[in-house]
Structure 1
Amino acid sequence: MTAHAITIDAKSNSPILILKERGGERALPIWIGLLEATAIATEMEKIEFARPMTHDLALNLLAALGARITRIVVNDLRDNTYYALITLEKDGEVLEVDARPSDAVALALRAGAEIFVEEAVLAKSVPSREGTEASADSDKADKWLEILEGLDPEAFKYKM
């Protein structure tokens, strides 16, 4: 996946991180906090600060300890909450650390690590078009899918 864009939910004014499948059509919207959106957006835009911000500091600490982030995986969706694992490697040992997806993505972008989403999470998060009866809920789901599939990152630049 790639960190495709950050946009704002018009109803709640909450930032939404859009992860999009590389070479594919699927997208995963994750509602995140403002601070995490700022951390992701600044890295997406390659904005540098005079002093390290929190995610930069975390990456610096890992490097000082001889560890590196190799990948992150959004691995679960329970009760409308996404979960992620950060995979670290140190001296040939592989460690996995539980994280919020927004923090994991902010770190992955800084570390140049791959971003993955488990198939089960994608299946749970996107309403299926197959076997659904016509209803207001399925119409809303179809409209949301169309919006996500047609997002242009240039149209949704996060404003700081």
Structure 2
Amino acid sequence: MRCHLLLLIFFTLLSLLIFVPREGGELIGYERVVEVETGDHLLRLRTTSGHLDMLVSEEQVYSIQLALNGTKPFRPNTHDLLSSLLKALNADHFVTVDKLQGGTYYATLHVSVFWKGVKLDTRPSDGVAIALRTGAPIFVKEELLENDISQRTF
């Protein structure tokens, strides 16, 4: 029994080192988002050295604004549901905006629970909406910062 407990602790600590940046830690090649702003169909992720603008749906902007304002809807939406699940599992997690391909941004929700770590493909706006609800860090790949959205289709 003691051996199982030690293994559980070991793999839990190992998963934290692999999947979640330490407090104040950074990911190589990424910058941490320090501010999230929204406008009409616009999501801006601001870092200390630049920003990334993305066009998103009205529903995504609304969900992100709810999270920014700390407002809870009468009934939970999908972002609230997943955020509650991550909190209930005490899952360590963070979001990375990784690439722009064919005019579409791609993001990853990195989740670590006990010894198991997974990377889930997500839309950046969904990742941001979840991270804002849970207080998880958001990172943007440095090469994506300050892209001109006028030349992109989404």
Confirm or deny a common fold (TM above 0.5): yes
Specify which structure has the bigger relative contact order, considering alpha-carbon pairs within 8 angstroms and separated by 6 or more residues: 2
Q: Secondary structure of the residue that 1:39 maps to in structure 2?
A: helix
Equivalent residue, structure 2, for 1:34: 58
Equivalent residue, structure 2, for 1:111: 134
**What is the CA–CA distance in structure 2 between the aligned matches of 1:18 and 1:88, rounded to whole Å?**
24
The aligned length equals 119
Deviations 1:47-86, CA, capped at 9 Å, x for gaps: 122321220012223445x262521000010111100000
**What is the CA–CA distance in structure 1 between the aligned matches of 2:96 and 2:141, rounded to whole Å?**
7
Deviations 1:8-52, CA, capped at 9 Å, x for gaps: 2xxxxxx1001000xx24011011111111110011011122321
CA RMSD of aligned residues (A): 2.2
Question: 1:1-160 residue pairs with structure 2 within 5 A?
Answer: 1-8=33-40, 15-21=41-47, 24-64=48-88, 66=89, 68-122=91-145, 125=147
Q: Secondary structure of the residue that 1:56 maps to in structure 2?
A: helix
**What is the CA–CA distance in structure 1 between the aligned matches of 2:92 and 2:103, rounded to whole Å?**
26
Q: Is the 8 A contact 1:16 1:32 kept in 2?
A: yes
Q: TM-score, normalised by structure 2?
A: 0.69
**What is the CA–CA distance in structure 2 between the aligned matches of 1:107 and 1:26, rounded to whole Å?**
22
**What is the CA–CA distance in structure 2 between the aligned matches of 1:116 and 1:85, rounded to whole Å?**
10
| Distance 1:54-1:68 versus aligned 2 partners, 3 A rule | same
